[in-house]
Structure 1
Amino acid sequence: MAESKRQMSDSLRVAMLLALAGGFLDAYTYVTRGGVFANAQTGNIVLFGINLFEGNFIAAKDYLVPIFAFFIGIIIAEMIKSRFRSNRALHWRQIVVLIEFAVLAAAAFMPQAYNTSVNALISFVCSLQVESFRKVKGSPFATTMCTGNLRSATEHLYNYHKSHDREALKNSGRYFLVIALFTAGAGIGAVVSKLFHFQAVLFAASLLLTAAIIMTKDPESANI
């Protein structure tokens, strides 16, 4: 399947599910796995630096591990893309999402003693996602963090105010929708994590599995 052809992975409905999962995973690791962020490596880098310079080397290690796992995930995503880009039976992004699903399902049954490993696995999952899903309807998006989306949403909104270009308004709305869903995912993640503890991550896994199923549909039949 040629990359130039529109893919279902480029659709807004897939981005919505991935944004929900992205917000959920950040809340899950923060609430149940020792206050570490799965997606926001900027936050982990800041906390790593603080603990390192304060001499808290054990605590610093807990933040360094997910950073390294994120690094590895980017490389793996590119390897999958290179190896399966021309695969007609299964799109390479579906392979990525199925790997994410399997890793999260395994993490759900790892006890608190393995928090560092779980955080690394979930950071790995998020890096696969951020590297593999970069666009929605042709516009650059992120489904595991919000800073770039907020910048783009505001920029498009300003462009609409200046030029009254309806497409700029639509793009702004899509960005704000993804941000809202990421926020909702974080809120849901906090609540569900407090109720179901480690197994709560299966909720995010189910969102990813649903996204993988949606990606089997013909993109020309999708409205969003």
Structure 2
Amino acid sequence: MSPIKVEESIKQKYAESLLVGLTLAFCGGYIDAYTYVLREHSLVAGQTGNIVFLAVDIVSKGFVLTETRLFTLIFFVLGIFTISFIAEKFKSPYVKPFSLIPCILACLVIGFLPVSTPDYLVVPPLAFGVGIQTTSFSKIEGIPYNNSFLTGNVKKGMIAWNGFFFSHSLDEKHAALLYFEITFSFALGALVSASLQKVCGIKTIWLIVLILSVIVWRYLYLLKQRKNNGPQK
């Protein structure tokens, strides 16, 4: 096996591992709870909710106070476009670990900003980072999922349970359990975030810096180890 294929193999294996997927889902719920409580009830990745809130704000407040919702939507879309372009352009195993850097930097800086900082300067950068993250890490063990919002995961999970009920397929059961675990991990992240905010306030977001940094370090470590060990048969 060539070095390039070896790196591709470890990239796919680690990026699609259950632990990484559930950890990122935890982070997704954690960040959304953070911005919902501390930043004008904004949702970083739940654009369905943001569009509803945006429509209500336009009707009740006019266009003057809609910057946060609108910019969040735009930056989330830009994050998706950016990582899609980079991944297609460079096709490197290092794209995935480094795709977490924008979210890490945004969370690091935001933890220093006072609550008085305008929300439209805080939430959109997070949306950009999360848009990149959720696009870059989109599978667990070959099964498509989303680590930053749950609607699609819940739907796929119920379809999988239905498939298992009628066919007794172990693959359907595995997928159904996986989507349940993702949903639980996301909800747990939101619960932990809401709880820590009572103690740590705006600095609560720094836990995400730690978690994502560990994922990046571990990813790069595995790539380096496999590269140093040479091609594996």
TM-score (norm 2): 0.86
How many Å separate the matches in 2 of 1:4 and 1:154? 32
Q: Which residue identity lines up with residue 136 of structure 2 in the other structure?
A: S
Displacement of 1:4 = 6.3
Q: Deviations over 1:134-193 (max 9, x none)?
A: 111111100000011101111111111111111211111111001100000000111112
Once the two structures are superposed, the pairs formed by residues 71-220 of structure 1 within 5 Å of their partners are 71-86=77-92, 91-112=94-115, 113-216=117-220, 217=222
- Determine the structure 2 residue equivalent to 1:64: 70
What 5-or-longer segments of structure 2 have no aligned partner?
A: 227-233
- Identity %, equivalent residues: 24
Paired residues of 1:104 and 1:205 also in contact (CA < 8 A): yes
Q: Deviations over 1:54-113 (max 9, x none)?
A: 3432232221111111121112212331344235xxx21101012321221111112222
How many Å separate the matches in 2 of 1:49 and 1:85? 39
What 5-or-longer segments of structure 1 have no aligned partner?
A: none
How many Å separate the matches in 2 of 1:179 and 1:97? 21
How many Å separate the matches in 1 of 2:100 and 2:68? 26
- Determine the structure 2 residue equivalent to 1:27: 33
Q: Which residue identity lines up with residue 83 of structure 2 in the other structure?
A: A
1:51 aligned to which of 47, 57, 66: 57
Paired residues of 1:31 and 1:194 also in contact (CA < 8 A): no
Q: Greater CA radius of gyration, 1 or 2?
A: 2
How large is the Cα RMSD of the aligned pairs?
2.0
Give the aligned length.
217
TM-score (norm 1): 0.89
How many Å separate the matches in 2 of 1:132 and 1:45? 23
How many Å separate the matches in 2 of 1:164 and 1:99? 42
